[in-house]
Amino acid sequence: MEDGWLVVGLGNRGERYARSRHNMGAMVGDRLCEELDARLRKVRFSPVLAADARFREHRLILAKPGTWMNESGPPIASFAKRHGIPVSRVIACHDEIDLPFGSLRVKMGGSTAGHHGLDSMVEAFRSPDFHRVRLGVGRPPTREAGVDHVLQPIPKRQQEEAAVLVAEGAEAVLTLITEGLAAAQERFNRSGIAKG
């Protein structure tokens, strides 16, 4: 499937974390499933949920690891290999504490900035050269609060903005696939969601 794309929504498994900041990437995956009328199903012999989809003339596989965030890499890399998808056609959607809440960045490769899901993917693929759709969740008030910050549910006051960010993240994925990286960066890379 050299011409296909693998879109990975990173997050933690289980209902407890479903609406947390750390699961923003998984929310983008869910949003794409809704938009493309695709249904995630358990992959046999693998801790991965996946769905086949099409957008215009492009073939996509939407996937979510059924593991904890920091163990996502091996099942995703193995799944990509089995489907003949090169690392350059993998898009990881993930939360990013180094970006202000509501901001969005699309990039290819580079540092993981200590994101354990990305660390796991880089190690498993033996390459950092996959695309990233980075969803800003903002930094916690103190360094010690880091883990709690990303694992807590998104507070009510930010839920509307989070929903807009997830929708734009899904749109950024489809733009990246249909128009390329430069077009996606030009359209979506920004510091925050404009008010009003």
Residue extents of the structural domains in the chain: 5-188
pLDDT mean over 140-154? 69
| List 22, 94, 115, 149, catalytic entry | 22
Q: Options 3.40.50.150, 1.10.3720.10, 3.40.50.1470, 3.40.50.1000; which CATH number does 5-188 get?
A: 3.40.50.1470
Name the nearest CA neighbour of 8 among 78, 57, 58, 56. Answer: 78
Each residue's pLDDT tens digit, 66-109: 999 999 999 999 999 999 999 999 999 999 988 999 999 999 99
CB-based contacts of 169: which residues, under 8 Å, 6+ apart?
A: 24, 25, 27, 28, 31, 93, 104, 133, 135
What digits encode the pLDDT tens for the residues 151-179? 888 888 888 999 999 999 999 999 999 99
> Quick check: is 22 catalytic?
yes
